[in-house]
Chains A and B, each alone.
Chain A
Amino acid sequence: MLRVLFFASIRERLGSAGIDVVPAPGDTVAALVSRLEAGPLPGCSRWLAAPNTLVAVNQVLGSPDSALADGDEVAFYPPVTGG
């Protein structure tokens, strides 16, 4: 399974802190977003595919092209504001 996490304003918009998703062969972040849009989270691509939304795969900053494999943790979040 892919462990998909949402943070901050994205979490609020989607009404979900996270969801487990069955991986697909040749999966990428962009493909995952399409599957979430077509499946459990319609309308989510507005936030997940937004230009300034960040994505981390296994806690390392990635991109829509990042490859995904079974067991990966994928997090979507807005620009950070810590410090």
Chain B
Amino acid sequence: MSVQRPEVEVRSADFSVAEEYAALCERAPECGACVVFTGRVRGDGAVGALEALELEHYPGMTERSIAEVLATARTRWPVQAVRVVHRVGRLEVGEQIVFVGVAAGHRGDAFAAAEFVMDYLKTRAPIWKKEHGAAGTHWVESRAADAAAAARWDSDQQETA
């Protein structure tokens, strides 16, 4: 029996997808679908070749805002278990940044909820990325595409209301 783990963790230590997946299935033993997503540090950035990303966060509010995203996801899809791990601190190219896992009865709900969690997390969680490259440092700017992706979930809600 695994130790009860929180649904949301914000920390610097890396995570193991295999371990997270196993824990999720253990919490939702009757799920028919389990979707896992990882976000990773890409090699390209605004300052050219990236050396590392530095992630800053607002301790307390970051966890709270992600927990709110999960609560919202639960109101829209019949999610059986969910887990988010978001790393902060200095991360090198190729390192894992974020894990989102969703267990549900069926794949439609699991895929949709996981995508929703990422789209909302990216526009709401107080976390900021700073790129470190050979040419210097640069604070990543929020993207219109991310705002649009999050807004899409809101307009979907209105259409079905």
Contact = CB atoms under 8 A, between A and B. Distances in A.
B113 to A, nearest CB: 15
B55 A82 contact: yes
B56 interface: yes
Interface string A46-66: 000000000010010000000
Contacts of B86: 82-83
Given A7-B58, A59-B61, A75-B61, A83 B121 contact: yes
A79 B139 CA distance: 11
Interface residues of A, number: 14
Contact of A80 (B39, B97, B126): B126
A8 B56 contact: yes
B124 interface: yes
Given A79-B142, A80-B126, A82-B129, A59 B64 contact: yes
Contacts of A8: 56, 128, 130, 139
Interface of B: 39, 55-58, 60-62, 64, 86, 97-98, 118, 121-130, 139-142, 146
A81 B126 contact: no
Interface of A: 5, 7-9, 56, 59, 75, 77-83
A79 B124 CA distance: 9
B58 A77 contact: yes
Given A56-B61, A78-B139, A83 B98 contact: yes
A80 B57 CA distance: 9
B26 to A, nearest CB: 26
A59 B141 contact: no
- Most chain-B Cβ atoms within 10 A of its Cβ — which of A7, A78, A82? A82
A80 to B, nearest CB: 6
Contact of B128 (A5, A56, A75, A80): A80
Contacts of B127: 80-83
Contacts of B126: 7, 56, 75, 77, 80, 82
A42 to B, nearest CB: 23
B123 A80 contact: yes
A26 B115 CA distance: 42
